[in-house]
């Protein structure tokens, strides 16, 4: 299995900085007085470390060794328990809050996605809360990811020339190819991701099948109710 290039991991936070999405996930933790939090697909750990509080346990899981290495080395990293793997590696401890942020849900293809939801349900106490977002297929976000135009950004590894292509190979499944030319090293790094765009109804059914009850589907980070055609879907559910 190929992993993220460490030079690109370092750029990830720059492209996905802290913002209203992280505020939402943090607020939910406080609202539910969460004492044990699971961040599945934690990536660089940018949100994970900010969830820590005295007396609270925070666990970050990710299948990418490069991501986890970066996460555990970041400031505050020693306050989190980092686990390499996916939903099958969730420790048997009981959590009262679990998140999947940065569209992790879309990075998990079927049937792994259903196994992931079942694993999350098993990891939560009764009434434990699950929150995550996924892009609405109706928003056709991938159409905006075809950047034939190349941009050059300055990094600690010198200039990197970047461009990307995205195509929907079958309805709801998108392959995103990102090109990264490290010009000083004369190296090209190709990153290919398969993203699942699931319909709201499908995710709701999958949540219920996994043993969750739905608390809301939002179209933004202020918890405005979802409306047909909204680009974003934020799911909030609890373990039934
Ligand atoms: C777009 S990143 C989001 C990272 C982080 N949650 C954030 O908000 O910045 C997607 C992450 O999902 C992870 N991932 C991929 N497949 C996964 C799986 N089956 N289970 C859990 N995480 C997975 C990737 O390794 C990657 O770190």
Residues with CB under 6 A from ligand 1: 16, 40-44, 46-47, 62-64, 67, 86, 101-104, 107-108, 112
Question: Which one of 10, 11, 26, 104 would you pick to mutate in the ligand 1 pocket, going by the greatest count of ligand atoms within 8 A of its CB?
Answer: 104
Distance 30 CA to ligand 1 centre (A): 23
Selection from 129, 31, 123, 138 nearest residue 85 by Cα: 123
The Cα–Cα gap between 36 and 99 comes to 12
pLDDT for position 226 = 98
Is the pLDDT confidence value at 50 over 90? Answer: yes
Selection from 63, 21, 61, 18 nearest residue 42 by Cα: 61
Question: Which one of 23, 41, 194 would you pick to mutate in the ligand 1 pocket, going by the greatest count of ligand atoms within 8 A of its CB?
Answer: 41
Is the pLDDT confidence value at 2 over 90? Answer: no
Distance 100 CA to ligand 1 centre (A): 8
Task: Kindly give the number of the ligand 1 atom that is closest to the alpha carbon of 41.
Answer: 22
pLDDT for position 35 = 98
Is the pLDDT confidence value at 82 over 70? Answer: yes
Distance 186 CA to ligand 1 centre (A): 28
Share of the chain above pLDDT 70, in %: 100
pLDDT for position 70 = 97
Task: Kindly give the number of the ligand 1 atom that is closest to the alpha carbon of 67.
Answer: 27
Distance 209 CA to ligand 1 centre (A): 23
DSSP letter for each residue of 71-99:
HHHSTTGGGSEEEESSGGG--SS-EEEEE
pLDDT band at 92 (very low <50, low <70, confident <90, very high): confident
For the chain, give percent helix, strand, coil, nearest 5: 30, 40, 30
Kindly state the average pLDDT of the residues 62-89.
98
pLDDT for 171-185, tens place per residue? 999 999 999 999 999
| Adjacency order of strands within the sheet including 173-182 | 147-155, 158-170, 173-182, 187-196
The Cα–Cα gap between 120 and 239 comes to 9
pLDDT for position 146 = 85
pLDDT band at 12 (very low <50, low <70, confident <90, very high): very high
Q: 70-79, 141-150, 176-185: lowest mean pLDDT where?
A: 141-150
Is the pLDDT confidence value at 162 over 70? Answer: yes
Backbone torsion region of residue 16, taken as left when φ is above 0, otherwise alpha when ψ lies between -120 and 50, otherwise beta: beta
pLDDT for position 165 = 95
Kindly state the average pLDDT of the residues 212-220.
98
Task: Kindly give the number of the ligand 1 atom that is closest to the alpha carbon of 13.
Answer: 9
The Cα–Cα gap between 39 and 161 comes to 32
pLDDT for position 147 = 73
pLDDT band at 126 (very low <50, low <70, confident <90, very high): very high
Task: Kindly give the number of the ligand 1 atom that is closest to the alpha carbon of 43.
Answer: 27
Is the pLDDT confidence value at 1 over 60? Answer: no
- Cis amide prior to 197 (ω within 30 degrees): no
More reliable by pLDDT, 2 or 162: 162
Distance 107 CA to ligand 1 centre (A): 7
């Amino acid at each position: 299995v190929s992993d993220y290039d460490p030079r690109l991991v370092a750029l990830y936070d720059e492209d996905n900085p802290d913002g209203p999405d992280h505020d939402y996930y943090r607020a939910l933790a406080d609202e539910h007085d969460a004492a044990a939090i699971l961040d599945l697909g934690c990536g660089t750990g940018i949100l994970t470390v900010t969830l820590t509080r005295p007396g609270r346990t925070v666990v970050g899981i990710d299948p990418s060794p490069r991501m986890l290495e970066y996460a555990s080395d970041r400031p505050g990293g020693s306050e989190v328990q980092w686990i390499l793997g996916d939903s099958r590696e969730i420790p048997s401890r009981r959590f009262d809050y679990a998140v999947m942020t940065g569209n992790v849900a879309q990075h998990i293809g079927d049937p792994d996605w259903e196994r992931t939801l079942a694993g999350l349900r098993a990891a939560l106490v009764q009434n434990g809360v699950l929150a995550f977002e996924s892009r609405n297929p109706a928003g056709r976000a991938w159409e905006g990811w075809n950047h034939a135009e190349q941009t050059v950004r300055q990094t600690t590894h010198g200039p990197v020339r970047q461009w990307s292509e995205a195509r929907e190979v079958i309805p709801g499944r998108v392959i995103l190819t990102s090109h990264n030319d490290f010009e000083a090293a004369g190296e090209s790094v190709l990153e290919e991701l398969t993203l699942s765009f699931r319909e709201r109804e499908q995710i709701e059914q999958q949540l219920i099948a996994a043993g969750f009850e739905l608390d809301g589907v939002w179209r933004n980070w202020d918890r405005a109710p979802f409306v047909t055609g909204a680009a974003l879907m934020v799911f909030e559910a609890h373990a039934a």
